[in-house]
Amino acid sequence: MTMPDLHPDGFARLPMLLDALARFSAPGAGVTRLVYDEHWCEAQVWVRAQARALGLQATADAAGNLYLHSESVQPGAEVVLVGSHLDTVRHGGAYDGGYGAMAGLLLAAAHAGQPGTPVVGFITCEEEQSRFDSHMMGARSMLGIVEDAELDSVRDGEGVTWRQALQAIRASGHAAAPVAGGLCAPLFTPRAQFELHIEQGPVLESAGEAIGVVAHIAGYRRLRATLTGAPRHSGTTPLAARRDALAGAAEVILAAEALARASGEPARVSCGRVIAAPGLYNVVAGRSELALEVRHDRVEQLDALEAALLDHCDTIAMRRALAFTHERVAEQAPTALSPALVRMAAALANEHGVAHRIMTSGAAHDTMEFARAGIPALMLFVPSRDGISHSPDEFTGAAQLQAGVCFASDLLTRITAGGAW
């Protein structure tokens, strides 16, 4: 790959920035930085300082998303947005979100003052659904598609509403005032959007490839499912008389796994959490709540997986005399990214002899929201060691991280030049 003048140092400071960002975390293994928590707020202040040190302004919107831009790029301007998210899963890694966010910062700085469409870095406040029962709060607010009512309906596990959480961080300067009738209006006019990310799976590493050009992203449905039985004394209640909501949940979890196996690649069916009540040694569980998720890259298969999973839940509940209810708490449709940008990235890789593939992402990303809003959108992946992600063991080597940003920089030069793509 060439190293043109735009990135003479090969973005050498990127791994150092990622290490520094990872220190903004709750205690415990890996990185835990939930939207608007103290660690997220400190990280946001640090990012703003990094931007200033690189000659950029950091402008926060009313959700706490950041735009990293030259002073000369005025609100409303047509720009190319490049970045990722600042929040993490609980006990996640340093690279998911962090990589694209720091790459966006460096790319915006490297391309400042260059001819063509200006490059603006973006850092969304939330993507992971780790704190609030919502989805892609950052990207959706950036796009101006969050209605005022959602600020009261979306709550975290402690019952804090999105509006209350925002009021608290607004008071300390981490978010701007909301716009009339909603939360945010887009600050710029995106001519294109793109996100650099670790792959989070094993494909690139296994194939020895440097770059994944993402053409399509799998969708998901997330269901909060509740089984209700009867809490009874565990020492005196005969097995035949039990309506055990936790045993029912165990059956649902195994049925979910069997469904994924029977459906074959790339179907995914998972249960990420069970909360049993009353949660004691000596009481048969009277209630259990499951966090169920199905994923697929085709919408018909997503529909079929969701329907089959719900059928299993109904059957298991009926056999065990449990009541079953469910609520879909989040969804993402499988989403195609810009074919023109995919072609442009693949052509660049071919010209420079970069080992690459055009691929589908199994993980969901902010970029889905931009693409569905009609903005030409693209993602580039770099390899993940052993395909591990959403784990403290997430890792990508410095050379691979830098190769990704150098490639992205060359691609940005083509995108910003305009033309007929």
Residue 364: name its binding partner from Mn ion, ligand GLV, none (Cβ under 5 to 8 Å by kind).
ligand GLV
Nearer to ligand GLV, 364 or 382 (CB): 364
For the CB of residue 238, give the shortest distance to ligand GLV in the complex, in Å.
43
Amino acid identity at 15: P
Give the amino acid at 159. Answer: G
Interacting residue with Mn ion among 97, 98, 104, 118 (CB under 5 A): 97
Choose the contact partner of 97 out of ligand GLV, Mn ion, none; CB within 5 to 8 A by kind. Answer: Mn ion
One residue of 61, 87, 96, 306 binding Mn ion per CB under 5 A:
96
CB of 268 to Mn ion, least distance (A): 14
- Whether 234 contacts 317, CB under 8 Å: no
Q: In the bound complex, what is the minimum distance in angstroms from residue 342's beta carbon to ligand GLV?
A: 20
- 401 makes contact, choosing from Mn ion, ligand GLV, none, with CB < 5 to 8 Å by partner type, with none
If the CB atoms of residues 97 and 178 are measured against Mn ion, the closer one turns out to be: 97
Separation of alpha carbons 213 and 379, rounded Å: 6
Q: Detail the DSSP E strand segments found in 241-304.
A: 268-277, 283-284, 287-296
Which partner in Mn ion, ligand GLV, none is near 271 (CB below 5 to 8 A by kind)? none
Distance between CA atoms of 184 and 140, rounded to whole angstroms? 9
Residue 390 CB, nearest distance to Mn ion (Å)? Answer: 6
Q: Which residue has the tokens 């700085």?
A: 109
Among the listed ranges 96-104, 226-234, 293-301, 336-344, the one in contact with Mn ion (CB under 5 A) is 96-104
Contact set with ligand GLV (CB under 6 A): 128, 363-364
Task: Give the shortest CB-85-to-ligand GLV separation in angstroms.
Answer: 9
Span interacting with Mn ion, options 24-32, 89-97, 274-282, 367-375, rule CB under 5 A: 89-97
End-to-end Cα separation, the chain, in angstroms: 22
Cα separation of 220 and 192, whole Å? Answer: 24
Of 374, 381, 419, 215, nearest in space to 297 by CA: 215
Closest CA to 15 of 138, 198, 199, 213: 198
Whole-number Å distance between alpha carbons of 276 and 347: 53
Quickly count: other Cβ atoms within 10 Å of residue 36's Cβ.
26
Contact set with Mn ion (CB under 5 A):
96-97
